[in-house]
């Protein structure tokens, strides 16, 4: 059973009750990410996410960690280009404690000493990711595709920007973006809705509102081919990007099904033409829905001597996106539906689905609704989607050993 309420300060509270579940998934979704940052404070959203675990006025970082452990909470957070999400999985009997702790995390004091310690952690994280070829490839590809559009902003930022972010800048960003009108508190699993709503109201109704609107800029990609090099790698990597539906576009389901046909990990065009033939050791095509904009990307890794041929094949698969059989269409819908159904068995994963659905579309869909939309996709839907979003390769990035 689904419940929804908006508190007086604008905070949306959502609950999907499953009495037979063995746990509860709790999450606070904030509609903010790297696309809401200025160049000067690139990486502040992710930095701030780390700081929310570093203590409040009532608890030190150590005490918060201890209290989370005392109820066996599996707590974590993540930051994307568009959202920052804090979440935990707990047993139903610890609902009150879980809501209290998650709410209190949203009132971090941004302790100056903890901030400097965490800055070092994030700088090390940036260095670690720069050693991962797929991260370097995808970040360069998104930056090249979106250019000056905010959707291409780096989530981690750079060593220079992270090193320069002050506590005052972070505090101003927090006050401007972590407005209750820009946040959603979600629970899914075995819990009492009235108890949950009462707890959230008690701990969150004093949060202060601010103007946290997001500007959605118009976007038109420009074709370009880029080659970059990296030392100490043996394989070569290729990524190609093109236009796809946004998170608000109803044709996103057609794009998901088509992406599965073209680039799933098994039984797809990429699998049979690249993996099965030994041309690439990894190859995929996926569509990514974002706020007001979408992208389809194909990527692969192979022996450097074969990467040019691999790139040709991926481009050819995208250019021939209309070419698929009825059997392939049916298999793709079955795959996606099965994955959705299995995911819904986890209260935590279901909580993620409910929260993200509301953040992007202010809507609620049952798992049956979503599976029904996937199953209803037909050839005509896909061809209609391709009239607008052609899946045509626009930006190509190749990463080679230096």
Instruction: Report the predicted TM-score, pTM, of the whole model to 2 decimal places.
Output: 0.95
- Rounded CA-CA distance 11/205 in Å is 8
pLDDT in tens, 361-394: 999 999 999 999 999 999 999 999 999 999 999 9
Q: Which of 204, 239, 254 is the last residue of a domain?
A: 204
Q: What is the model's pLDDT at position 148?
A: 84
Residue 384 lies in a domain: yes
- Rounded CA-CA distance 38/280 in Å is 38
Looking at the structure, do residues 54 and 139 belong to the same domain, yes or no? yes
Low-confidence ranges of the chain (pLDDT < 50): none
Residue 326 lies in a domain: yes
Looking at the structure, do residues 187 and 249 belong to the same domain, yes or no? no
Structural domain that includes position 108: 2-204
Looking up residue 375, the CATH number of its domain turns out to be: 3.30.830.10
- Rounded CA-CA distance 348/188 in Å is 7
Looking at the structure, do residues 19 and 64 belong to the same domain, yes or no? yes
Q: What is the model's pLDDT at position 215?
A: 86
Looking at the structure, do residues 200 and 228 belong to the same domain, yes or no? no
Residue 159 lies in a domain: yes
Looking at the structure, do residues 255 and 183 belong to the same domain, yes or no? no
Residue 54 lies in a domain: yes
Q: What is the model's pLDDT at position 370?
A: 97
Long-range contacts: 56-63, Cβ < 8 Å, 24+?
56/104, 56/105, 56/107, 56/108, 56/109, 57/107, 57/109, 58/104, 59/104, 61/111, 61/114
Residue 216 lies in a domain: no
Residue 281 lies in a domain: yes
Looking at the structure, do residues 30 and 93 belong to the same domain, yes or no? yes
Q: What is the model's pLDDT at position 218?
A: 87
Q: What is the model's pLDDT at position 234?
A: 96
Looking at the structure, do residues 136 and 280 belong to the same domain, yes or no? no
Looking at the structure, do residues 128 and 189 belong to the same domain, yes or no? yes
Residue 30 lies in a domain: yes
**Residue of 27, 354, 22 lying closest to 200 (CA atoms):** 27
Looking at the structure, do residues 340 and 230 belong to the same domain, yes or no? yes
Q: What is the model's pLDDT at position 217?
A: 87
Looking at the structure, do residues 70 and 179 belong to the same domain, yes or no? yes
Q: What is the model's pLDDT at position 181?
A: 96
Looking at the structure, do residues 160 and 19 belong to the same domain, yes or no? yes
Q: Which two tokens stand for residue 312?
A: 């040709």
Which three-class secondary structure string do you get for 120-175? HHHHHHHHHHHCCHHHHHHHHHHHHHHCCCHHHCCCCCCHHHHHHCCHHHHHHHHH
Looking at the structure, do residues 40 and 133 belong to the same domain, yes or no? yes
pLDDT in tens, 234-256: 999 999 999 999 999 999 999 99
Q: Which of 169, 204, 239 is the last residue of a domain?
A: 204
Domain count, the chain: 2
Residue 17 lies in a domain: yes
CB 360, CB 247: distance < 8 Å: yes
């Amino acid at each position: 059973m689904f419940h929804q309420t908006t508190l007086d300060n604008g905070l949306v509270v959502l609950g999907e009750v499953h009495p037979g579940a063995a746990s509860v998934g709790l999450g606070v979704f904030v509609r903010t990410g790297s696309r809401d940052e200025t160049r000067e404070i690139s990486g502040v959203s992710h930095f701030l996410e780390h700081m929310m675990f570093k203590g409040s006025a009532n608890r030190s970082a150590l005490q918060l960690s201890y209290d989370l452990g005392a109820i066996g909470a599996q707590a974590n957070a993540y930051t994307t280009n568009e959202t920052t999400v804090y979440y935990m999985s707990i047993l139903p009997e610890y609902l009150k404690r879980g809501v209290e702790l998650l709410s209190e995390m949203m009132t971090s004091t941004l302790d100056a000493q903890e901030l400097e310690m965490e800055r070092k952690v994030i700088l090390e994280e940036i260095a670690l990711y720069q050693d991962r070829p797929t991260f370097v490839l995808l970040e360069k590809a998104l930056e090249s595709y979106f250019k000056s559009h905010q959707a291409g902003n780096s989530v981690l930022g750079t060593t220079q920007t992270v090193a320069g972010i002050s506590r005052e800048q972070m505090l101003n960003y927090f006050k401007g973006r972590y407005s209750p009108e820009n946040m959603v508190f979600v629970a899914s699993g075995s819990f009492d809705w009235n108890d949950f709503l009462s707890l959230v109201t008690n701990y969150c109704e004093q949060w202060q509102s601010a103007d946290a609107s997001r500007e959605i800029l118009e976007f038109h990609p420009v074709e370009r081919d880029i080659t970059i090099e990296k030392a100490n790698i043996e394989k070569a990597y290729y990524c190609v990007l093109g236009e796809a539906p946004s998170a608000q576009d109803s044709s996103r389901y057609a794009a998901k099904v088509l992406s599965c046909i073209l680039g799933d990990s098994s039984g797809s065009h990429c699998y049979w033409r690249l993996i099965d033939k030994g041309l690439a050791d990894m190859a995929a095509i996926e569509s990514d829905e974002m706020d007001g904009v979408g992208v389809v990307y194909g990527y692969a890794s192979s022996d450097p001597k074969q990467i040019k041929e691999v790139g040709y094949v991926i481009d050819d698969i995208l250019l021939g996106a209309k070419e698929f059989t009825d059997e392939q269409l049916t298999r793709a819908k079955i795959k996606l539906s099965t994955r959705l159904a299995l995911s819904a068995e986890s209260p935590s994963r279901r909580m993620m689905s409910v929260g993200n659905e509301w953040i992007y579309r202010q809507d609620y869909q049952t798992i049956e609704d979503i599976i029904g939309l996937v199953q209803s996709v037909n050839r005509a839907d896909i061809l209609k989607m391709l009239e607008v979003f052609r899946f045509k390769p626009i930006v190509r990035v190749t990463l080679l050993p230096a």
